[in-house]
Every structure is written in structure tokens, then in C-alpha cells.
């Protein structure tokens, strides 16, 4: 029985439901391909013509990340040595904490530093927020666990008798320490390369404490994020190519170092 406002369809009638999809216009696909091709050509042009803005960003990235690794390396090396050769209460807990810190999110580090360095934070008087120094501190925190964990693994792989023999032969603790470091130089260099690779591409901490300021704190990852959000793909692609080439170079370096460090029976 038909009801007011409704249309009654007999059950014997076949009902066919058609789903209509708007066809994708060929012109739109061709436009997207042309846009990508043009952006790629512009990216290569920026790279090979020495665009000042592009290479300034690259220079800031390398300067900040190299400083972070250099400043973090001495303390990380000492920590790795203590964990590998010295027995003390809480040693296993410390190793576990450093291994856990390997996966610490960069944005968490950035948030913590921002709260500490902001005007209302306990370290606000230092006026480090939105400076390269703040970026260096954030990247030091990120690479420090990597340097400690990989350095500890490299030192543990070395025969402990090397340290004991050096002390027995009259070497001072510092001299014995330097001897052990020399014997594990390949593994420790690999740790430095891995730490640098970790921080050169991080975006969370650098964005939060650096502020992504042009010609001052804008590095490769933050510039890629900004240019992509603005729809300016040429510079983003160019910087992405730099990161890819850097990743390839770091992996080749690691492979070479690990090959030199292998003992051939």
C-alpha cells in the first residue's frame, strides 16, 4: 500500500542501481605530469647553477649537524667506554636507557627544548630559542644515544685484554684508553657517520627550536616542508635530491668503514 511521500515499487520489478563516477579528465593528468617535469627541471637548474638561497640552506644544514656531532662525540665516547669496560651499579639499566633513546621522536626533543628555552622557561634568559645554537643542542640530544650505543657495541667487540694488557705494561689509563680507541677506530667512525645521518634529515626539533628563519635557521628538511606546503616544488625536489645523494654517500662510507674493520682469517 503506497504511503504518502514514498514511491511504491512492486517487488517483481527489477531494480538496478548505477554508481556514477566522474571520469578523470586526461587534461588534468597531463597537467600534473607537466608540472612535475617542469619542477624537476627547475630543481636541476637550481642545483647546477649554484642558486644562492638553495646553497645557503644546504650550508646551514651541514654546519649545524657537523657541530652537533663534534660537540656530542667526546662525551658519548667516554660514556661508551665506561659502559663497555667499567663495572658499576646501574650499568645494565644505563645501557637499556641508551638503547631506548635511539628511537626518541625528534618532535619530543623539540617540544622539551622549546619549553626550556622559551621566554617563560627556566633557560629563557639565555635567548637561544630560534637560533642555530638551539638547533645544535636539539641535534646533539638526538645523536648522542646513537654515538653511545654504536660506540659501546664497537668497544665490546674489542678484546678486553687489550685494555688490561696496556695497563699491565705500565701505560697510564689515558694512554690505555687512547690505545683502545685506536683499535676500534673503524667502528667508532661508523657511529659518527650514523649519528650525522640521523640528524641531518630530522625536521621536528629543528622546526620547533629553530623557527625555520630564512638564511639563519632554515635547513634542508624544514625548507622541504615549507616549500611543499606552499606548492613550490622545485626547491623541495632539489633539496630532496641533496638528501638522497647524501644518504647514498653515507651508506657507501659506512660500507667502506665496516669492510676495513673486518678481520680476515
Q: What is the pLDDT of residues 183-214, one digit of tens each?
A: 999 899 999 999 999 999 999 999 999 999 99
Q: What is the pLDDT of residues 75-95, one digit of tens each?
A: 999 999 999 998 899 999 999
Closest CA to 220 of 57, 43, 52, 48: 57
Question: Domain 42-257 in CATH: superfamily?
Answer: MetI-like (1.10.3720.10)
| Contact yes or no for 106/203 (Cβ under 8 A) | yes
Q: Confidence band (pLDDT; 50, 70, 90) for 223? A: very high
CA distance 80 to 14: 77
The C-alpha cell at 174 is 689515558
Whole-model pTM: value is: 0.81
Closest CA to 65 of 127, 129, 121, 146: 146
Would you state the pLDDT for residue 262? 53
Would you state the pLDDT for residue 21? 47
How many residues are there in the chain? 265
Judged against a pLDDT cut of 90, whether residue 216 lies above it is answered with: yes
Amino acid at each position: 500500500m503506497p504511503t504518502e511521500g514514498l514511491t511504491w515499487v512492486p517487488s517483481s520489478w527489477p531494480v538496478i542501481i548505477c554508481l556514477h563516477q566522474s571520469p578523470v579528465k586526461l587534461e588534468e593528468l597531463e597537467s600534473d605530469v607537466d608540472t612535475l617535469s617542469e619542477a624537476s627541471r627547475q630543481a636541476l637548474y637550481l642545483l647546477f647553477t649554484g642558486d644562492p638561497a638553495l646553497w645557503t640552506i644546504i650550508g646551514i644544514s651541514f654546519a649545524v649537524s657537523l657541530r652537533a656531532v663534534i660537540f656530542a662525540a667526546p662525551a658519548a665516547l667516554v660514556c661508551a667506554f665506561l659502559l663497555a669496560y667499567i663495572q658499576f651499579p646501574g650499568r645494565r639499566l644505563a645501557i637499556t636507557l641508551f638503547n631506548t633513546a635511539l628511537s626518541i621522536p625528534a618532535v619530543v626533543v623539540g617540544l622539551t627544548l622549546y619549553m626550556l628555552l622559551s621566554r617563560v622557561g627556566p633557560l629563557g634568559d639565555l635567548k637561544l630559542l630560534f637560533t642555530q645554537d638551539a638547533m645544535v643542542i636539539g641535534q646533539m640530544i638526538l645523536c648522542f644515544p646513537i654515538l653511545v650505543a654504536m660506540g659501546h657495541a664497537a668497544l665490546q667487540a674489542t678484546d678486553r685484554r687489550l685494555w688490561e694488557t696496556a695497563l699491565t705494561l705500565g701505560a697510564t689509563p689515558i694512554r690505555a684508553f687512547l690505545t683502545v680507541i685506536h683499535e676500534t677506530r673503524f667502528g667508532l667512525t661508523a657511529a659518527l657517520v650514523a649519528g650525522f645521518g640521523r640528524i641531518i634529515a630530522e625536521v621536528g626539533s629543528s622546526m620547533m627550536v629553530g623557527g625555520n628563519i630564512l638564511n639563519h635557521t632554515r635547513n634542508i628538511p624544514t625548507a622541504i616542508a615549507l616549500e611543499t606546503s606552499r606548492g613550490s616544488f622545485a626547491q623541495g625536489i632539489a633539496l630532496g635530491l641533496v638528501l638522497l645523494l647524501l644518504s647514498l654517500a653515507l651508506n657507501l662510507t659506512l660500507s667502506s668503514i665496516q669492510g676495513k674493520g673486518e678481520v680476515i682469517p
